[in-house]
Structure 1
């Protein structure tokens, strides 16, 4: 196998391929990247049998073939080479790499030993803008659970129906939901692993360009142009989140998102982790008051707000409420309450494309 390729392009594509490699792999060959020289250029493949990534690079191929190189060593070598053309020559699993005055000789594994990716019959597909997909991932994947005993909640529900795409995640303490319109007529529900979406987010560029998402039996495929990512889907039923999305709110509070975030961050300085990062919120006569205390002292914050409805005392884990507020894009948000024991539902003012729901911490009224 012989080919020449530009260092900068190869390094970029190695970084993308490495997203498909798990540190927990039990098969040594899966620590490697499969390099295939074809007529049209070079294809890099990496998989951990859950996530698979194929990425294609323009190259001058003199002799076709394939080899598996350790991902870390291969990536480190290419990153350190000069920004110039790299020459590869492979014979009997021995790899010669030259670039300007640098030369490496390393040993690889036969490409024939690399596991074949599953043959996938694409059943349904739709397009979505890369920047919208990045936003949807950023605003939902953080609310997945790490608890492997609830596998379906370690992923994000992607639901397509009535020309609308909905991304939903929840972990038992909060729920994040992002919706957007689509031209697709598909009616489908799938659960994508949170890890897959995190890795995809690192590959995606923040551009107003479309990518294609294809659905297959137990798989989802993201076609990003010169890179394709495959992910297994999670099995099982997702929680029926619509049951907790109540609309009969008794108290609504409009508040500046940044002011609320700053107040919560200051209050959380005295909210101890062993006490559930507890902050107390009181809505009284149009004022939103945040309090927190520990044996070190206490804090009292007053935030200007517009109140509609009953006064209210409620408590939250500050981390859960902050994580949802931080990733919202709206300047003004509305906090919707039913009572001190019911979830708070947060939206942008006049904007229901993103919804964040957080459960309160149960406290006696005397504690306020």
Structure 2
């Protein structure tokens, strides 16, 4: 793997996925980012086995390839670098980051050891502005129960029927409910309970009014 990338673009990608990396885990590979390079793009992925996230940034590719690297160490290195173009290359299970101010080498693990992520999920899709979805989540997630003995209450219920989307949460004492009309009807009714951890990460990723495909 050998790529040229702007430091600011790489940091933006890292910032989007870093919060998913578990702080404590008995599975060492989960402490790593998965880096995958194909022509013109670098995909960074992270997972805690409950939530997975991937983001892609533009690069100038000399050689494609993949590796996993210690997420927080890699993030600290990139965060502290000045905004100069970077050269990132791998040799065996080591990755080297070079800039105008120095060179850093980290030990990684094989990409093949990283859990397989569900990149393509079949099912119903719809589009919604990011700021609207963020507001819907914030109006309901606060009411989710923290009682693990009642798992059905430890998430937000998402219901979609026709053009109506509804989010509901309760801890048994208070109830939050909000509805939104979708621009296009859904063919078949859908519902799912989404854990607040996943919703909180989603809110962090939402920026302005960009369209999200769910």
- TM-score class normalised by the smaller sequence: over 0.9
SS of equivalent to 2:134:
helix
Seen in structure 2, the aligned counterparts of structure 1 residues 70 and 180 have a Cα distance that, compared at 3 Å, is same
Matching residue within 197, 200, 203 for 1:201: 203
CA distance in 2, matches of 1:92, 1:126: 42
- Report the equivalent of 1:156: 156
Matching residue within 194, 197, 213 for 1:192: 194
- Report the equivalent of 1:302: none
* 1:256-267 map, 5 Å: none
CA distance in 2, matches of 1:118, 1:25: 21
* 1:1-368 map, 5 Å: 1-118=1-118, 120-182=120-182, 183-185=184-186, 186-207=188-209, 209-213=210-214
- In the alignment, structure 2 segments of 5+ residues that lack a partner are none
Shift of 1:124: 1.1
CA distance in 1, matches of 2:77, 2:6: 14
> For this pair of structures, how many residues does the alignment match?
212
CA distance in 2, matches of 1:119, 1:82: 33
Shift of 1:121: 4.2
Shift of 1:140: 0.8
Q: TM-score, normalised by structure 1?
A: 0.56
Larger radius of gyration: 1
- Aligned-residue CA RMSD in angstroms? 1.3
Q: TM-score, normalised by structure 2?
A: 0.94
Shift of 1:94: 1.6
Moved over 4 A (4+): none
CA distance in 2, matches of 1:23, 1:149: 24
CA offsets 1:23-49 (integer angstroms, 9 cap, x no match): 343211001000011113101111111
CA distance in 2, matches of 1:76, 1:171: 38
Which of the pair has the greater relative contact order for Cα pairs under 8 Å at 6+ separation? 2
CA distance in 1, matches of 2:196, 2:2: 38
CA distance in 2, matches of 1:205, 1:190: 24
- In the alignment, structure 1 segments of 5+ residues that lack a partner are 214-368
CA distance in 2, matches of 1:162, 1:92: 52
Shift of 1:184: 2.2
